[in-house]
Structure 1
């Protein structure tokens, strides 16, 4: 009896195991069936983009440094990228060594010009004083000659004549001295003017360099987040980088209240994109966030995609929401809604099959079995396709080819069914 019970139990276990194996195996191999949907159908284009501020303030080193002969400046210190600063906060410090040398040269030149100006003043004062003394002496000489001529009235004619000649000569010397004094005065004035101009130019140069030196310490012109600028090669400027005076930008302070997603659309899809289209935006760093946007700019000219033969067009998308967690350079996923078909019947793209270039069909589940049914398709997106004819809203279709149905005959649509679908 025990032996019979043991055998019966063993058989029962084998049957249970076989049943479990058969059921689980059939479940794994069961075809997936989906229902035909009806509703608003969105024709979309997917793209990856990068967040950028709509507006930003550029932060520059001293723009006038080029006028002093400086061509490049090295960044000695700089706050970390992403630092939130207030107006007046420290941003960066540039190397002043080259400009200090130019300041020393200018200061030495200033000392020299000041000495020359002082010397010109002294020379002018001395020369004009000597000229004035000479004029005064000659004036006395003329008066003396006049007295002598008056006293020679009763002298012989020769003596009188000699007195007249000496008086005339004294007057001529007096006139000449006064004319020379005017010339020397003008010469001294010109010399002093030249010395004053030279001194003023050097003094202005010194003041100009001192003013530029103040700009080698860069402070924030307003509150914001520091984003490093890029050099001509596209690399970010950072501590240790060299800034050139023809483009002394070191960073930007973006306005984070208005952001755009800059993306590039393949030339195959660019004709679908127009300004004003609605966009669903996702942020890779925050998968739970769902933002909305609007296409605000579509490039008219394409460009070559790096390391690819594909041509792309730049598209800018305005982010509607203001979010304090958004940061420049964050990656976005943009679903651009190009068009919406209302009350459209649609199925997943995986359900659709093709025979040649003209016939599209699906595997439809029916009460009597499976039908290989021709369908007339409309527009599609990345996941689904519109069905214009061949299916009804209550129908169910297979995501893959059912076993044994690959070589079955297609149930074709009638010409009237196709014409009716085309008229819709």
Structure 2
């Protein structure tokens, strides 16, 4: 019986011990969060900007619709037929067919105007012929009248002087009338010729307009100007031209025939990162369709003016990256991942961004000092998405807090000497955006990293 009681007490004591252990574990976990440390790293520090882009040919031949349709008050033309995008065509092959309904209406109107001008020209010719014919008949009559007056003068030799004078006057009058009629006839001929020439000019203009419309209508069937692969133009909203879309009279481009020998990756960088993008920067390029393929490139163009892209609230700037390697497998519209190498700093000391804390515009890290924690002021340099260069205040083996300690009331602050801060400030004023990487490297050489061992600050608050 004593053995059973001892065993019972033994089980009870063990259970109480287990409860105590569980209570300690749970109580400790709930009251004190686990502390995670890290240490600074030393090596090559690189600042990059990562974006996604789209492949486009650097050079291409445009496939364009008819030019000059604005002359006929046509500003948009629907597309009726298109060959599938990606079709390989040869020069002269069919590419697209445009809707002729509006231009056909203009053509019919122009034909009616041409018929009216032709009728007007025929009427003018008939009127001119009739008018000149009457004028010529009048000249003949006047010539006969002059001849009769001349005969009357000859016959009046035997008449009285008064009769002879009257006959002479009639003769001179007939001469003047014939001369005036001949002069008027020449003037009338010139007038009729000028009238016919004016009407004929209008007629020729109408004929040219009809011929012009015919030529434009023929261009509503679009053929490939060169050999290549058809890639359709993108609209402003990013969508591609399809059957039913319309082309503008100001830009009648329907498609492109890209030259695959040199490709560009067109990407858009947000307004925060664009300040660090420069022409000539190197780029690592990956392809979503072929992850195993790695390409390189160089930034060739950076837009000066931002734009609002669809489905985006912020302004972005277009950046064009030229692919270095010629590759026959590259095709337009392939999605690329671009890593732009903005800056590189050799032999730099850097730590995760989570270790940096800002208080009153000053940067600090929490680091272990034996069994204690101190709040050390630091001077920062370049930063990327994950890490930041620490120029001053941290040594290589210092243990840094990745999060703020639970209780910071009694933690001492150690500030850097004023002369050290002044030196860095002067160096920053001398730096320029075009040479920031080289000058930052010089800073690290002129002012080597100071660790916690010497603790140049030495001061405590």
For 1:201 and 1:305, the matched residues in 2 are separated by 47
State the match for 1:145 in structure 2: 149
For 1:118 and 1:295, the matched residues in 2 are separated by 69
2:365 is matched with which residue: 338, 360, 363? 360
Label 1:380 to 1:201 Cα distance change in 2 as closer, same or farther (>3 A). closer
Aligned partners of 1:43 and 1:337 also within 8 Å: yes
Match runs of 1:326-405 below 5 Å: 326-344=330-348, 349=352, 353=355, 358-360=363-365, 379-384=382-387, 389-391=394-396
State the match for 1:197 in structure 2: 201
Q: What is the deviation of 1:296?
A: 2.2
Residue 257 of structure 1 aligns to a residue whose secondary structure is: strand
Residue 339 of structure 2 aligns to a residue whose secondary structure is: strand
For 1:258 and 1:330, the matched residues in 2 are separated by 14
For 2:256 and 2:385, the matched residues in 1 are separated by 38
Residue 261 of structure 2 aligns to a residue whose secondary structure is: coil
State the match for 1:103 in structure 2: 107
Q: Does 1:274 align with 2:278?
A: yes
Label 1:233 to 1:41 Cα distance change in 2 as closer, same or farther (>3 A). closer
TM-align CA RMSD? 4.0
TM-score by length of 1: 0.74
For 1:104 and 1:303, the matched residues in 2 are separated by 44
Aligned partners of 2:41 and 2:396 also within 8 Å: no
Listed as ranges, the gaps of 5+ residues in structure 2 are: 1-35, 421-443, 449-461
Q: What is the deviation of 1:204?
A: 0.9
Between 1 and 2, higher relative CO (CA 8 Å, sep ≥ 6) is seen in 1
Q: What is the deviation of 1:213?
A: 0.9
Residue 53 of structure 1 aligns to a residue whose secondary structure is: strand
Aligned partners of 1:42 and 1:337 also within 8 Å: yes
Aligned partners of 1:107 and 1:206 also within 8 Å: yes
Aligned partners of 1:294 and 1:317 also within 8 Å: yes
1:423 is matched with which residue: 443, 447, 455? 447
TM-score by length of 2: 0.69
Aligned partners of 1:373 and 1:390 also within 8 Å: no
For 2:355 and 2:39, the matched residues in 1 are separated by 17
For 2:292 and 2:130, the matched residues in 1 are separated by 90
Moved more, 271-280 or 119-128: 119-128
For 1:84 and 1:273, the matched residues in 2 are separated by 37
Listed as ranges, the gaps of 5+ residues in structure 1 are: 1-31
Q: Does 1:83 align with 2:98?
A: no
For 1:400 and 1:381, the matched residues in 2 are separated by 17
For 1:214 and 1:380, the matched residues in 2 are separated by 61
State the match for 2:321 in structure 1: 317
Q: What is the deviation of 1:49?
A: 2.3
Number of corresponding residues: 381
Q: Does 1:207 align with 2:231?
A: no
Q: What is the deviation of 1:149?
A: 0.9
Label 1:188 to 1:307 Cα distance change in 2 as closer, same or farther (>3 A). closer
Residue 280 of structure 1 aligns to a residue whose secondary structure is: strand
Match runs of 1:179-258 below 5 Å: 179-231=183-235, 234-258=238-262
Q: What is the deviation of 1:333?
A: 1.5
For 1:182 and 1:383, the matched residues in 2 are separated by 99
Q: What is the deviation of 1:141?
A: 2.5
Q: Does 1:173 align with 2:177?
A: yes
Label 1:198 to 1:290 Cα distance change in 2 as closer, same or farther (>3 A). same
Residue 295 of structure 1 aligns to a residue whose secondary structure is: strand
Residue 325 of structure 1 aligns to a residue whose secondary structure is: coil
State the match for 2:31 in structure 1: none
Match runs of 1:45-60 below 5 Å: 45-60=49-64
For 2:95 and 2:372, the matched residues in 1 are separated by 72
